[in-house]
Amino acid sequence: MSGRQAGGLLVAGTTSDAGKSVLTAGICRWLARRGVRVAPFKAQNMSNNSAVVVGPDGRGGEIGRAQAMQAAAAGIAPDIRFNPVLLKPGSDLHSQVVLLGEAVDTVSAGSYRALRPRLAGTVFETLAELRAEYDAVICEGAGSPAEINLRAGDFVNMGLARGAHLPAIVVGDIDRGGVFAALFGTLALLSAEDQALLSGFVINKFRGDPGLLRPGLDMITNATGRPVHGVLPYDHDLWLDGEDSLAYGSTLGRPAPPVGRDWLRIAVVRLPRISNATDAEALAAEPGVRVRLTGTPADLLDADLVVLPGSKSTVSDLRWLRDTGLADAVTAHAAAGKPVLGICGGFQMLSRTIHDDVESRDGTVPGLGLLPTEITFAPRKTLGLPHGSAFGTEAVSGYEIHHGQVSTAGAEPFLRYTDGRPEGAIAGPVFGTHWHGAFESDGFRRRFLTEAARLAGRHGFTVSPDTSFAAARARGLDRLADLVEEHLDTDALWRLIESGPPPGLPFIPPGAPA
């Protein structure tokens, strides 16, 4: 299909977590399997789950983790242009602004308005570049296009569709209830100009007999003049690369039965500003490993391994750990000789001391003291795609996103860079690393889980010899494309991508409030 005029589509949603990210990935995978050169795009993402990619100048840059997953679905390397604006919340009032991969500012809701014209200009320039290079660009919206308080100056939802003349579809999560009201209300709160671009609906996460839903599909089509392009079934296995920790339930995925006689139970602390919770997904991919996200000290009592994940606000989340009693529970777990793992911000919390005049500006604060390390926050963020080894011979790769710089006092390194430099630390049953994504390296993951099971006394736990995280992710992406092909009107979707919104779509009152 190369040589066709570049097409495009905006996948919007009735709410956050309605299924925009996975539907965008599924459409990208479906198109790629048809031979279409397709790229994903999210104008602005608000998430602390990010990935490191290498920009054109060779430097590392950040994009939303979901856009890296969508790039994999499209069969292409991730590009900083796929998510030109990334907002990383550090508190309820402030977010770090990452523009084309690089942190450029920290803003409040009020100061963000002054920055918005610059961001919008970059977004439209970047989308135009991608549409000149690819056959199709599948754009993901953010939140809902019917957030009427945010429509002025919008460049993410219908503002993007208007500026680039993109057809839009709206996906609604029927599992939440009220999906028909949400679809109708989303359309009816848009201006006539925006409604002219909203070309259809998709219903997500349906359980049950499709025949029972059919009358509702006909009714919403009659009421809006827009077709429902399909109904995607609920699929428990589609949980990789969630947009943020709210996309996860308390248990990750569907744990496969153990290879040995024992399960290994992992408790991941759901920090208020958790970042890159996707690290836990590789652990959950192993048979016999049950991974739970929790914010309750009691849930740590019966865990074999406790994980402190990444954090966008290390000092603030450390204070929360202490206030909730979780810090005492983590310390008691380690004192009992059971394993504790800290990743990035979680690694920093395990240190003796944290010096932070950059992120929290709280100065020097005590850490949990479980590792003989000291953390000093540097103004410039470390971004990288490191490679190295662990346990002597196991190959490891990952990505780094952190301000904290580590000094150690005789700690055994957890990992080593390819050039031999030490990384991370081990002290008894406590492990820490700044490397995200390291547990996607299959051999390293197996060795670590085997060691964690030994320390926890789970002698009947055995790792599977052939679990491949990369293969599991590829199967998930192919499953997304299968669902798109089986349950959506792909001919209608391709017409939208290729030809734009159909003319004559009816206006549904009342329209956007004055």
Q: Are 244 and 72 in contact (CB under 8 A)?
A: no
Q: Does any domain span residue 243?
A: no
Identify the pLDDT of residue 2: 42
Q: Are 297 and 345 contained in the same domain?
A: yes
Identify the pLDDT of residue 166: 97
**CATH number assigned to the domain comprising residue 417:** 3.40.50.880
Q: Are 288 and 158 contained in the same domain?
A: no
Phi, psi for 92 (deg, rounded to 5): -70, -15
Q: Does any domain span residue 89?
A: no
- Which residue, 435, 463, 491, sits at the end of a domain? 463
Residues 6 or more apart in contact with residue 472 via CB below 8 angstroms: 240, 285
Q: Are 165 and 314 contained in the same domain?
A: no
**Mean per-residue pLDDT of the chain:** 92
Encoded amino acid at 197, one letter: L
Helix axes 469-487, 20-33, angle to 10 degrees: 90
Q: Are 434 and 305 contained in the same domain?
A: yes
pLDDT 10s digits, 133-163: 999 999 999 999 999 998 999 999 999 999 9
Q: Are 55 and 100 in contact (CB under 8 A)?
A: yes
Three-state DSSP class for residue 97 = strand
Q: Single out the residue of 265, 243, 275, 279 nearest to residue 438, CA to CA.
A: 279
pLDDT 10s digits, 439-459: 999 999 999 999 999 999 999
Q: Are 209 and 69 contained in the same domain?
A: yes
Q: Are 382 and 492 contained in the same domain?
A: no
Three-state DSSP class for residue 387 = strand
Q: Are 187 and 41 contained in the same domain?
A: yes
Alpha-carbon distance values, 205 to 92, 179, 258, 443 (Å): 30, 11, 28, 35
Q: CA end-to-end span of the chain, whole Å?
A: 44
pLDDT 10s digits, 380-420: 888 999 999 999 888 999 999 999 999 887 789 999 999 99
More confident: 428 or 239: 428
C-alpha span between 91 and 9 (Å, rounded): 33
Question: Is residue 89 within a helix (H) or strand (E), and if so which, with residue range?
Answer: strand 85-89
Identify the pLDDT of residue 236: 72
Identify the pLDDT of residue 239: 60
Alpha-carbon distance values, 149 to 14, 139, 146, 152, 165 (Å): 15, 22, 9, 8, 22
Which tokens is 256 given?
């496969």
Environment class of residue 323 by beta-carbon count within 10 Å: exposed (0-12), middle (13-18) or buried (19+)?
Answer: exposed
What average pLDDT does this structure show over 57-74?
89
Q: Does any domain span residue 55?
A: no
**CATH number assigned to the domain comprising residue 181:** 3.40.50.300
Q: 233 lies in which domain range?
A: 7-45+63-82+118-238+474-499
For the chain, the residue count is 514
C-alpha span between 186 and 82 (Å, rounded): 26
pLDDT 10s digits, 422-436: 999 999 999 999 999
- Could you write out the DSSP letters of every residue in 411-471? PBPSEEETTS-EESEEETTEEEES-BTGGGSHHHHHHHHHHHHHHHT-TT----SS--HHH
pLDDT 10s digits, 172-195: 999 999 999 999 999 999 999 999
C-alpha span between 382 and 417 (Å, rounded): 15
Which of the residues are catalytic?
344, 436
Q: How large a percentage of the chain has pLDDT more than 90?
A: 79
Q: Are 265 and 194 contained in the same domain?
A: no
Q: Does any domain span residue 514?
A: no
Choose the most confident range, by mean pLDDT, from 65-69, 185-189, 296-300: 185-189
Which tokens is 321 given?
């750990």
Q: Does any domain span residue 215?
A: yes
Q: Are 434 and 484 contained in the same domain?
A: no
Question: Is residue 282 within a helix (H) or strand (E), and if so which, with residue range?
Answer: helix 279-284
Environment class of residue 321 by beta-carbon count within 10 Å: exposed (0-12), middle (13-18) or buried (19+)?
Answer: buried
Identify the pLDDT of residue 248: 47
Encoded amino acid at 411, one letter: A
Q: Does any domain span residue 144?
A: yes
Identify the pLDDT of residue 298: 93
Tally the domains of the chain: 2
Q: Are 289 and 344 contained in the same domain?
A: yes
Q: Does any domain span residue 113?
A: no
Q: Are 296 and 435 contained in the same domain?
A: yes
Q: Does any domain span residue 431?
A: yes
C-alpha span between 101 and 108 (Å, rounded): 20
Q: Are 192 and 221 contained in the same domain?
A: yes
SS (HEC) of 101-170: CEEEEEEEHHHHHHHHHHHHHHHHHHHHHHHHHCCEEEEECCCCCCCHHHCCCCCCCHHHHHHHCCCEEE
